[in-house]
């Protein structure tokens, strides 16, 4: 089978398992609602000019936290059942694993964003542009999440067999994804301000995504195999 066929089969399997429990999706949606409640209590009284600066930060801060929460769970089934080595021995391209895991995280983030964007537009009148230009908003959010997921999935694989992966992912992930999140924040603010060059920001996001996905695909196999080999030596 080709790479994309293998990716689809792995992703479908991951999605079926998640739909049986709704554990990660439900947690992401609940956490997004909690973040909205906190933003409503702390930032709901801001004047309209300040809301333009606050809404993008609230959106991408929530995405970063929900993403980190999801990435700590993305390899848990393989780690708990000790099936990661079996997966590596199967006739499956390693890139298919990377893309399937990343696609699952992207779906979870899409659920979180589906809660966050309408909620922020309701809380902050200045953020109503997110709903007035839905296709542009969807493209911006998708491109922003892809870059975050590309980096996060790579390091989640490297820490897949680590006992303290929850702490390590947070320590590694946030510094490395900060440039991507900052670019996402600037692009979102440009959208809220109806900046004429907002399409140029989307182009930059797409270029960054191509670079990050390429680097992640290049390093994924060595990190995953190295993590499994380290655990085997310890055992």
List, for residues 201-223, the tens digit of each pLDDT value.
999 999 999 999 999 899 888 87
Between CA 228 and CA 159 the distance in angstroms is 9
Looking at the domain assignment, is residue 100 inside a domain?
A: yes
Q: What is the pLDDT of residues 62-91, one digit of tens each?
A: 999 898 888 887 777 766 666 667 777 777
| 235 within domain boundaries | no
Show Cβ contacts of residue 222 under 8 Å, excluding neighbours closer than 6 positions. Answer: none
HSE-up of 185 (CA within 13 Å, CB side)? 19
Structural domain includes residue 215: yes
Sign of CA dihedral 87, 90, 94, 97: negative
Tell me if 13 is assigned to some domain. Answer: yes
Residue 37 maps to a domain:
yes
Higher pLDDT, 135 or 42: 135
Length reported for the chain: 235
* Cα–Cα distance for residue pair 75/220, rounded to 1 Å: 14
Largest CA distance in the chain: 58
Q: Which of 3-7, 125-129, 225-229 has the highest mean pLDDT?
A: 3-7
Residue 140 confidence (pLDDT): 93
How many distinct structural domains can be found in the chain? 1
Read off the pLDDT of each residue in 132-151 and give the average, rounded to a whole number: 92
Rounded to whole angstroms, how far apart are CA atoms 160 and 231? 10
Quick count: other Cβ atoms within 10 Å of Cβ 84?
20
Q: Distance (Å, rounded) from C-alpha 123 to C-alpha 144? A: 22
Q: Which range of residues forms the domain containing residue 127?
A: 3-229
Q: What is the mean pLDDT of residues 22-48?
A: 85
* Chain center to CA of 39: 21
At 147 the pLDDT is 93
Give the 3-state secondary structure of residue 79.
helix
pLDDT at 114: 93
Band of residue 103 on the pLDDT scale cut at 50, 70, 90: very high
Assessment of whether the complete model's pTM goes beyond 0.85: yes
The residue ranking higher by pLDDT, 168 or 222, is 222
pLDDT of residue 146: 95
Cα angle: 186, vertex 192, 195; to 5 degrees: 75
Q: Is residue 180 part of a domain?
A: yes
Place of tokens 């609940």: 30
Domain presence at residue 234: no
């Amino acid at each position: 089978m080709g790479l994309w066929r293998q990716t689809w089969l792995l992703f479908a399997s991951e999605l079926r398992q998640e739909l049986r429990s709704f554990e990660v999706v439900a947690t992401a949606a609940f956490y997004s609602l909690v973040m909205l409640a906190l933003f409503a209590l702390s930032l709901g009284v801001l004047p309209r000019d300040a809301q333009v600066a606050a809404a993008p930060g609230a959106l991408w801060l929530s995405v970063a936290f929900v993403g980190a929460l999801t990435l700590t769970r993305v390899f848990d089934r393989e780690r708990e059942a000790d099936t990661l080595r079996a997966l590596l021995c199967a006739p499956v391209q390693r890139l298919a694993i990377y893309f399937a895991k990343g696609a699952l995280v992207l779906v979870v983030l899409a659920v979180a964003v589906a809660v966050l964007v309408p909620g922020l537009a309701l809380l902050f009148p200045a953020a109503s542009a997110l709903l007035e230009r839905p296709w542009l908003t969807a493209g911006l959010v998708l491109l922003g999440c892809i870059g975050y997921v590309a980096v996060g999935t790579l390091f989640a694989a490297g820490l897949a067999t680590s006992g303290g992966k929850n702490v390590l992912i947070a320590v590694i992930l946030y510094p490395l994804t900060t440039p991507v999140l900052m670019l996402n924040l600037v692009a979102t603010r440009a959208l809220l301000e109806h900046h004429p060059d907002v399409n140029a920001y989307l182009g930059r996001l797409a270029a960054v995504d191509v670079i990050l996905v390429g680097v992640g695909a290049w390093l994924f196999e060595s990190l995953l195999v190295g993590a499994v080999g380290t655990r085997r030596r310890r055992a």
